[in-house]
Structure 1
Amino acid sequence: MEEKQLKVSFQHFLEKFPEVELPITLGEDTHHAFSQKNDPIPPLMIEQFILPLEEEESDEFTEFIACFRMPAQKEYQAIVYWKAGLLNYQYMLATFGKDEKLIDKRVIGGTYYDGEQLTQSVATIKEDGQVIIASGQGDPHQEHFEAASTTAYRVQIGTKGKIVNL
């Protein structure tokens, strides 16, 4: 007996990501609000649309949360999802073309612990597709981050959906 391969439409996948008004800021706990408002991403959608985007293998403990979809552009759609792995929590920005293929993907915020330093990043996505990312590093056993370790940089989603450094 032949096993039928189930497929989900890309449009149905995009519907898991409610469109938001920009600007929006993604902080340390913003994903909680999204996880309460948005339906979970079904495993079949994760397998079909998100896992192929990931460079690292995901295990059964990795969690994905649909955050939002940016207002549709002529040449691309952009979504943000949250990925939670072991000691690594990331907001991922992904852009897709009209052909439903990935154009670009970038980590734009989150928390990462490498065993010594804790890195936290906050992102603000503006109306023009510009993303401002502020990152700070510090010893997780200290109460405050060192202000000198804070860096900020900007990326921009271009008209064709490519994410470029500014």
Structure 2
Amino acid sequence: MTTTAWRPLAACLLCGAIAGWTTQGWRKDASIAELQRAAATSKTNAATELAQATTRVLTLERAAGAALMLRADHLTQEQTHAKTERDRFNYDVRSGAVRLSIPVASSQCATVTDTATAAGHRNQARAELDPATAAALDTIAGDGDDATRQLNACIDAYNLVRDTYHVQTE
């Protein structure tokens, strides 16, 4: 083959290579554009899901906060009511309207073998408490009741948060 015969063949091969190169570039650009669109769509979907999840969590937080405030108000009301009742009781004890007594063990009471008589407390000796001692005992009992109410409120708050956020405690 002569040089002149190779030129058209070389020109065709060169044109084919350029066309192939250009076509490959277009496909690559199309693939890149498709990947960019998919990434943008994924990013938008992720942002939307994040916004929805954030909204759900904020709604749960607000609901839990409101429920906790209601529980705290209820605890305050319970404590106020209990204090009023204790104050009334202490007033009644001091005024003599209520008298407190405790059983007094005697040698006869300690040796009773008849359980029916012991359980019935018939003619059992009792000692009356002075008002100051009665008030002191009531204060101790009241403090215990207050602590129990506070612990119950803590348990209620814990359960509320656990149930609100569907936390598993295992």
- What range describes the TM-score normalised by the shorter chain of this pair? under 0.3
Normalising to structure 1: TM-score of the pair? 0.15
Q: Which has the larger radius of gyration?
A: 2
Highest RCO, 1 vs 2 (Cα 8 Å, sep ≥ 6): 2
> More helix by proportion, 1 or 2?
2
